[in-house]
Structure 1
Amino acid sequence: MDDALLRSLTPAVLGVLVRRGADFAAAEDAVQDALVEAVRVWPDDPPRDPKGWLVTVAWRRFLDVARADTARRRREDSVEEVPPAGAAVDDTLQLYFLCAHPSLTPSSAVALTLRAVGGLTTRQIAQAYLVPEATMAQRISRAKRTVSGVRLDRPGDVATVLRVLYLVFNEGYSGDVDLAAEAIRLTRQVAASIDHPEVAGLLALMLLHHARRAGRTAPDGRLVPLAEQDRTRWDTASIAEGVAILQSALARDRLGEFQAQAAIAALHADAPTARETDWVQIVEWYDELARLTGSPVVRLNRAVAVGEADGARAGLAALAALDGSLPRYAAVAAHLHERDGDLDTAARLYAEAAHQAATLAERDHLTRQAARLNSRRDR
């Protein structure tokens, strides 16, 4: 049984049922029933048209449940109908829009996207987010109820879909599901469905970040900063693909935040060594990104780039204009003070940043940085 094939067909089949008028929750249940039946039947009797088979079985399951509803019964005449090939893209894209509907919280939108579009089980999603399966089941059920009354008669919001997929990507790896790889797969699917430079920008950004994954941690699990990473461990094929996709998107002259982020990632990936990084151009891209987003986090990262391009004092001046309560502010300040030669202040700020760290790996890294400076000072 080809599990990858079933997962790839799930969103298109679900999209067909929803387009035909099925309630989202009922349609999802019907598709799951069809998938179970496929696992039972296909090994001995594989269909010539897997998608058409799933659509037919799922629609029949839905009609069986909804037979008492006269309006639903009228659709029974189209049971054997398989949507034309051109409709598959639209159905799948509409499903993405539905799963990322503005009425959903970000966490609910992510869970529903992974369940309905990604084809992951509730258990897999729960493991990935380190929550009990019952908790995740409730979250998904609430999300399905929320979107059940939503009509798919208006264009969806591409930006919302991209933000949801980026949230999935940033979860990385946990449990038995690689969410970063899953996010790339789903973004490829959206890119195949819609010609939009920001979709291409997000796909390029994911590929460029994912390409550096092997270099981010040492064998003992220790976090390795970008400047210290072994660049021979980076995935050059993914970098080349990401750069090519980005260049094509930028050529359309419709710059968006994901394209700008991807451009920064591409400059890091293009540098043979950390010393050869084009920090001046990175600062310019951060200026564009700040203009597009107005994000204080972008300005925080820009301060780091300014410190590399124009010296630590310039970076500290850029940092001084920002709110000290920003996440990672203390870590950035520590890095810039160390570059400026103020080791006492840097050590204190590294220790402060360690207490504020969001992950154990980051906390350990910052603690080691503080200890390193303290040991140098005490010699």
Structure 2
Amino acid sequence: MEFLTEFGLFVAKAVTLVVALIVIISVVLSAAHKDKGADSEDGELRVRKLNEKYRKLRESLQARLLSEPERKVRAKQVKKEEKARNKAEKGKAKAGDTTETPKKRIFVLDFDGDIKASDTDPLRRAITAVLSVAQPGQDEVVIRLESGGGLVHSYGLAAAQLDRIRSKGIHLTACVDKVAASGGYMMACVADRIVASPFAILGSIGVVAQLPNFHRLLKKNNVDFEVLTAGEHKRTMTIFGENTDKGRQKFLEDLDDTHVLFKEYVGERRPELDIAAVANGDIWFGRRAMDVKLIDQIQTSDEYLIEACEGADVISVAYQRKRTLPEKLGLATSAALEHTVWRLLSAFRSQKIQ
């Protein structure tokens, strides 16, 4: 009975949500037509100094460990030190003192990859901004990379964006905390140095293609499907038509050629690799990946950046596209629906156990 009640509430919420969304989307679309072309700016560059982030975390914990009187004394001391530091910097700027050696800067970029490498455009814009100020031979770029791979052409473009950094003579480090496989590793291998956590997944240097075929189903129901092409290899495989051995052979040849290009790309950027041993589609976890030279160091991105803060200015750079209201509503709806489904599944499991 409790399960039926939960299910009824779920249906009522779903219906209410759909009706509300229809009304809201109608209003939004109407407003969008009125405001179309009002603002051509589609995003903004966000810059944050990570040295300050880590410093504040440390000071926050230190303050909580102190007694109330000690905390007050410490707060006054920190404020005094900060004031003295700012005064000294202003004095140097006013006097035009440029004798101090410029501090190394480490620019931190993030890439969270899906099958289409949708983060490529924000990455491209962030790289363009960084390259306009980074000093070759002095500064460094760190890419925090997470991706299980996807479309060849999409990840080829993403990797080419990272190649822009190396071609300018700027040291590039790739940090992998969870996974950089297939297209993800294609991007990681561009870096001068790859740092990965102990159980990060790396490798999968291979190519895969799969597609269903409904030809027999259509034939059984007396449905004809015709594919008309100009050019012998214009369509080697089809979902609805009848595939031939000749078409399959050509498709496999294309896959093999793509794999060869992938291996050549990785081999050129990591010449110390035994490419024949690692380019068989297998994956390796962090420590095993280091054994076969897929990576250079075992360390999390947090460890790497916190250590870097001791001798450099570490700056996070991210380009964030402005989401339209319909997109925001879509994300909110998706999250609400996912939450509701999980609640329903949990209720069903509880009912089943009882």
TM-score category (smaller protein): under 0.3
Q: Per residue, is there more helix in 1 or in 2?
A: 1
Q: Per residue, is there more strand in 1 or in 2?
A: 2
Structure with higher RCO (Cα < 8 A, 6+ apart): 2
Structure with greater Cα Rg: 2
